[in-house]
């Protein structure tokens, strides 16, 4: 349709008129349409009259105490259904864009800390439904490269001085790249895991070690 024709619809405020028309056509009554749309009955009648004048057609004919759609009115009613469906889909797409993207917690771990990482992530996601999480498992050297590139939020690394007698799932340190601020979700994960989830005494928090390559928060028995 030429833009000049579209401007005609815009100038006459046709969408509100189509809303009124669709309600009257569906309900078969100006009075009932006015009640549904919370408009005065004269307002509905005026909108219908303006729509017919703009389109230069007759949409209704009187039938007893009600109204009957003309052939043109039936075509317009079908077109209104299509138009409202399009607008509904547009509104749904816009609503999806208005929502912030889901927060994703990215955790990486060395193979020996895989069990701990999976357990901690599962517990965290159970406490926060809707949170998305990923776990990447690799040896320490590849993880150091990932840390340098900032590919993950936190890292579970094996402790070099861990005693073999200690439970394997407790022989790890939690780390993140030095000089890079943790995302809010990662901060919450660290706080809950180390203070709440594992019952660490708030008066004796875990030690944080800053190094050239990473910042490490140790969790020991």
CATH value at residue 64: 1.10.10.10
Residue 88, H or E segment: helix 71-98
Q: What is the mean pLDDT of residues 99-118?
A: 85
Please tell me whether residues 110 and 87 are part of one structural domain: no
Paired tokens of 204: 């004796």
**Which residues lie closer than 8 Å to 171 by C-beta, 6 or more apart?**
112, 113, 158, 159, 162
Q: Is the pLDDT of residue 214 over 50?
A: no
Give SS3 for 11: helix
Give SS3 for 69: strand
Q: Is the pLDDT of residue 211 over 50?
A: no
Q: How confident is the model at residue 75 (pLDDT cuts 50, 70, 90)?
A: very high
Please tell me whether residues 31 and 80 are part of one structural domain: yes
Q: Is the pLDDT of residue 145 over 50?
A: yes
pLDDT at res. 10? 65
Q: How confident is the model at residue 159 (pLDDT cuts 50, 70, 90)?
A: low
pLDDT at res. 12? 65
Of 76, 98, 120, the last residue of a domain is 98
pLDDT at res. 221? 35
Give SS3 for 209: strand
Q: What is the mean pLDDT of residues 158-177?
A: 58
pLDDT at res. 50? 92
What's 205's DSSP letter? Answer: P
Residue 110 or residue 200, greater confidence: 110
Q: How many domains is the chain built from?
A: 2
Residue 30's alpha-carbon distances to 38, 48, 67, 115, 205, in angstroms, are 12, 9, 8, 68, 71
Please tell me whether residues 121 and 193 are part of one structural domain: yes
Indicate which CATH number applies to the domain containing 203.
Answer: 3.40.190.10
Nearest to 114 by CA among 138, 131, 132: 138
Please tell me whether residues 214 and 111 are part of one structural domain: yes
Give the CB-side neighbour count of residue 169, counting CA atoms within 13 A: 7
Please tell me whether residues 53 and 94 are part of one structural domain: yes
Residue 83 or residue 164, greater confidence: 83
Q: How confident is the model at residue 208 (pLDDT cuts 50, 70, 90)?
A: very low
Q: Is the pLDDT of residue 197 over 80?
A: no
Bridge partners (DSSP) listed for residue 155: 108, 175
In whole angstroms, give the CA distance from residue 160 to residue 173.
10
In the chain, pLDDT over 70 holds for what percent of residues?
A: 75
The Cβ of residue 60 has, within 10 Å, a number of other Cβ atoms equal to: 19
Q: What is the mean pLDDT of residues 108-121?
A: 88
Of 81, 98, 115, the last residue of a domain is 98
Q: Is the pLDDT of residue 205 over 60?
A: no
Q: What is the mean pLDDT of residues 10-31?
A: 88
Q: Which domain holds residue 117?
A: 104-219
Residues in the chain: 221
Please tell me whether residues 137 and 94 are part of one structural domain: no
pLDDT at res. 38? 94
Q: What is the mean pLDDT of residues 21-48?
A: 94
Of 51, 79, 98, the last residue of a domain is 98
Highest mean pLDDT among 51-65, 175-189, 193-207: 51-65
């Amino acid at each position: 349709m030429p833009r000049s024709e579209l401007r005609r619809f815009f100038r006459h405020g046709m969408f509100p008129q189509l809303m009124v028309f669709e309600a009257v056509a569906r309900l078969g009554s100006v009075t009932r349409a006015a009640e549904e749309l919370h408009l005065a009955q004269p307002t509905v009648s005026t909108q219908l009259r303006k729509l017919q004048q703009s389109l230069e057609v007759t949409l209704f004919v009187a039938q007893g105490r009600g109204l009957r759609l003309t052939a043109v009115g039936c075509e317009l009613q079908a077109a209104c259904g299509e138009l409202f469906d399009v607008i509904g889909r547009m509104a749904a797409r816009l609503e999806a864009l208005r929502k912030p993207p889901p927060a994703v917690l990215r955790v990486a771990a060395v193979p020996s800390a895989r069990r701990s990482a999976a357990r901690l992530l599962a517990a965290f996601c159970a406490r926060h439904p809707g949170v998305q999480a990923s776990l990447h498992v690799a040896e320490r050297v590849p993880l150091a490269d990932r840390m340098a590139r900032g590919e993950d939020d936190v890292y579970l690394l094996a402790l070099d001085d861990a005693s073999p007698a200690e439970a394997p799932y407790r022989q790890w340190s939690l780390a993140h790249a030095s000089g890079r601020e943790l995302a809010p979700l990662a901060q919450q994960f660290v706080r809950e895991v180390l203070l709440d989830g594992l019952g660490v005494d708030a008066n004796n928090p875990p030690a944080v070690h800053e190094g050239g390559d990473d910042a490490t928060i140790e969790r020991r028995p």
